[in-house]
Amino acid sequence: GQQLNQSPQSMFIQEGEDVSMNCTSSSIFNTWLWYKQDPGEGPVLLIALYKAGELTSNGRLTAQFGITRKDSFLNISASIPSDVGIYFCAGPTRYNTDKLIFGTGTRLQVFP
């Protein structure tokens, strides 16, 4: 079945550093979504990507839709303590685009 693998699994960085994480799949996705989950909360949508090669920014966050449609990348510039959380990629399933499949997640810790 479809799977989304994220790397790295976790990151421990200093405040002010830039962060890069990615999401890969063995199958093609037509949409990529990036979510952030704060402790004790539900996921919140950060960025949505709809076209291969698309680069979209949301403040300090930038995400790219890989040209092969099998991967996506999320970058966070100048990290701050509130960036702490788990970042998930997600995409609609092949057989029903109303349903989402989620990646394995990247846990980010930011130290002051």
Partner 1 sequence: SAVISQKPSRDICQRGTSLTIQCQVDSQVTMMFWYRQQPGQSLTLIATANQGSEATYESGFVIDKFPISRPNLTFSTLTVSNMSPEDSSIYLCSDSGFEAFFGQGTRLTVV
Residue 56 structure tokens: 């979209």
Amino acid at 58: N
CA 55 to CA 89: how far, in whole Å? 15
CA 19 to CA 41: how far, in whole Å? 22
Paired residues of 2 in beta bridges: none
Footprint of partner 1 on 19-38 (CB under 8 A) = 31, 33
- Asked if 7 touches partner 1 (CB under 8 A), the answer is no
Residue 32 Cβ, how far from partner 1 at the closest point, in Å? 11
With CB under 8 A as the contact rule, the residue among 13, 52, 84, 100 that binds partner 1 is 100
- Asked if 45 touches partner 1 (CB under 8 A), the answer is yes
Residues forming the site for partner 1 (CB under 8 A):
31, 33, 40-45, 48, 88, 92, 96-105
